[in-house]
Chains A and B, each alone.
Chain A
Amino acid sequence: MNIANGLVLIFFFIIALNSQAAELILLAGAPKITANNSQVTDEQFHKNRQLQGGVIWRGDSFLGFEFLAISNMNSRTKESADVVGLYELNLDIKSLGGGVRLQLPLSGHWRIALRAGGLIHQTRMTVYESFYGLKPSGEAQTNDQGQGYYYGLAADYHGSGSLGFSLHWDEQYLPDVFNGSSHAFDVKISGFSAGLSYRF
């Protein structure tokens, strides 16, 4: 299923690149990552750094398509303690997404868009553990793949040249990460990102 989604994304990506109505975007942000399951509510991962790159096919005036590659890095929980010792978690999440844009041109230079689509993701969880100096500390990693979805808003500005500016607000949902394990959890990534766009 993940491979099929990826092939669909690549297919649309090629169409978009061949179109004369495409834009490349590169955005950076620091959206908030939270995890939820039956044991925690909105467990916070701090200091997340996000990079988004993608292609927007503008289509007609009101309907467009977008294909995104998103990387979330460096997020960490606060340090917790239990009977084992001290521990922190890190999530690195890489996603490919594709979706539609309902666009509304506001003037000759501005355009806003309502966006929604699907995601496939690869999530790497790193656990950092220490034991008060009584035993050697260390880290361990595990990976999972899955699907999710996103929705958001965009505001794009393009002057007379090819280069423009984009501001995105996204909410990404990745349900049941590590499904089948003892404590699968849902991930929500929400926040702003901003950057440049290049119009073909």
Chain B
Amino acid sequence: MRLFPLLIPVCFLSGCLSDPDEDTNISPIGVSLVFQADLPYGEQQMVMAAAAYVDGRPELLVGGDVLKVTADSVTSLLRENSSEDTFLRGNMPGSSGQSLQLVVAHDPLNARSERWYPAEKAWVDAGAGSLVGFSAVAVIPQELIITSPQTGTVFASRNNDIALSWSGSGGDEVKLVSTQSCYSGRDVIYGRYVHTMADSGTYTLTVGDIIPSEGALEAAGVVNNVVISFLDLMINIFVSGLGFGEPRSVNIRDFNLQYCTLDLALYRMAEGTLGAGVSGGKVSASRSDRIRLEYRP
């Protein structure tokens, strides 16, 4: 009989959780917008995610109010939502240097355009909501390519250096996001590591920084339908398939670790500008690249 691996979602480091004010600057008063667009290396399509807040609480846009992104006269609505969170996602073509404008618009027909029946023939005009007109702008930064280490590199010790280097420059900062899966042969545990650094082209950390021998484990993810961390936007987009769920604390010291895979991504972040009347939030565009490493002690 085949034994399915036991999935134990955990977070290895305390750096997983961030202060929402620090990461997203969501204002307790007024309207806040959070928006990130990322164009991964080698891709033509940006991945975008955004959410709107009123008085610090996520605001559901309904009745034809939409988050609309325009870049070089191409417009895309963010319309993919999930039950796990309140932000909306979408895709559109993008390139470095492109200016992205996010606007809350009332576009009742386009918002219904993916329904299977002719929605333009019969629809309920609920009117524009109070958030319509708020906006933000971000510019996609220069391309980032990880030049070392090469994907597939295997590390044998927690003391080994992971000497990261990447091409290009000009970002306000670079975010390192690692999601790791460690296997015992029977069980799997997951974790993530996040670090922010200057866009200097190099950064060195050790395997042990990402996979500690002694783990103070914490919950991670999205709590109470509030995006608790700016990075959760992107992390949830790229690793939602990994199985982050109801977290369970596991001390890695007690785990019979055989090997780990490290999916490591670098984001060159370029912070954007919030439009008139927007009290808080954060808007940014990024270019990213990712590699997969392995730790096999």
Which residues in A have some Cβ–Cβ distance to B below 8 Å? Answer: 35, 37, 39-40, 43, 82-85, 87, 89, 125-127, 129, 131-132, 134-142, 178, 181-185
Chain A min CB distance to B101 (Å): 19
* Chain A residues closer than 8 Å to B116, beta-carbon distance: 35, 37, 39-40, 43, 183, 185
Given contacts A84-B112, A140-B122, 20 further A-B contacts (CB under 8 A): A35-B117, A39-B116, A82-B79, A83-B111, A84-B108, A84-B111, A85-B63, A89-B117, A125-B121, A127-B117, A127-B124, A129-B126, A134-B60, A134-B62, A134-B129, A141-B122, A178-B118, A178-B121, A183-B115, A183-B118
Chain A min CB distance to B144 (Å): 31
Answer yes or no: B16 CB below 8 A from chain A CBs. no
Give the nearest-CB partner of A128 in chain B. Answer: B124
Within 8 A of A (CB), among B53-110: 60-64, 66, 77, 79, 81, 88, 108
Interchain CB contact (< 8 A) of B61 among A43, A83, A139: A83
Give the nearest-CB partner of B127 in chain A. Answer: A135
Answer yes or no: B113 CB below 8 A from chain A CBs. yes
Contact A137 B124 (CB under 8 A): yes
Interchain CB contact (< 8 A) of A84 among B63, B120, B127: B63
10 interchain residue pairs of minimum CB distance: A181-B118, A135-B126, A39-B116, A142-B121, A140-B122, A131-B62, A138-B124, A129-B124, A135-B63, A40-B116
CB within 8 Å for A135 and B117 given contacts A83-B79, A83-B81, A83-B111: no
Answer yes or no: B119 CB below 8 A from chain A CBs. yes
Answer yes or no: B246 CB below 8 A from chain A CBs. no
The binding surface of chain B is classed by DSSP as loop
Interface centre among A84, A129, A181 (most CB of B within 10 A): A84
* Chain A residues closer than 8 Å to B124, beta-carbon distance: 127, 129, 137-140
The binding surface of chain A is classed by DSSP as loop
Give the nearest-CB partner of B111 in chain A. Answer: A84
* Chain A residues closer than 8 Å to B117, beta-carbon distance: 35, 89, 125, 127, 178, 183, 185
Contact A182 B62 (CB under 8 A): no
CA distance A37 to B117 in the complex (A): 9
CA distance A131 to B127 in the complex (A): 11
Answer yes or no: B254 CB below 8 A from chain A CBs. no
CA distance A89 to B117 in the complex (A): 9
CA distance A83 to B115 in the complex (A): 10
Q: List 26 A-B contacts (CB under 8 A).
A: A43-B116, A82-B79, A83-B77, A83-B88, A84-B63, A84-B111, A84-B112, A125-B122, A127-B122, A129-B63, A129-B123, A129-B124, A132-B62, A134-B60, A134-B63, A135-B62, A136-B126, A137-B124, A137-B126, A138-B124, A140-B124, A181-B118, A182-B120, A184-B118, A185-B116, A185-B117
Answer yes or no: B19 CB below 8 A from chain A CBs. no
Give the nearest-CB partner of A184 in chain B. Answer: B118
CB within 8 Å for A182 and B119 given contacts A129-B124, A131-B126: yes
CA distance A141 to B123 in the complex (A): 8
Give the nearest-CB partner of B78 in chain A. Answer: A83
* Chain A residues closer than 8 Å to B115, beta-carbon distance: 82, 87, 183
CA distance A87 to B62 in the complex (A): 12
CA distance A45 to B126 in the complex (A): 25
* Chain B residues closer than 8 Å to A141, beta-carbon distance: 122
Give the nearest-CB partner of B90 in chain A. Answer: A83
CA distance A182 to B115 in the complex (A): 10
Contact A82 B113 (CB under 8 A): no
Chain A min CB distance to B65 (Å): 9
* Chain A residues closer than 8 Å to B118, beta-carbon distance: 142, 178, 181-184
Chain B min CB distance to A182 (Å): 5
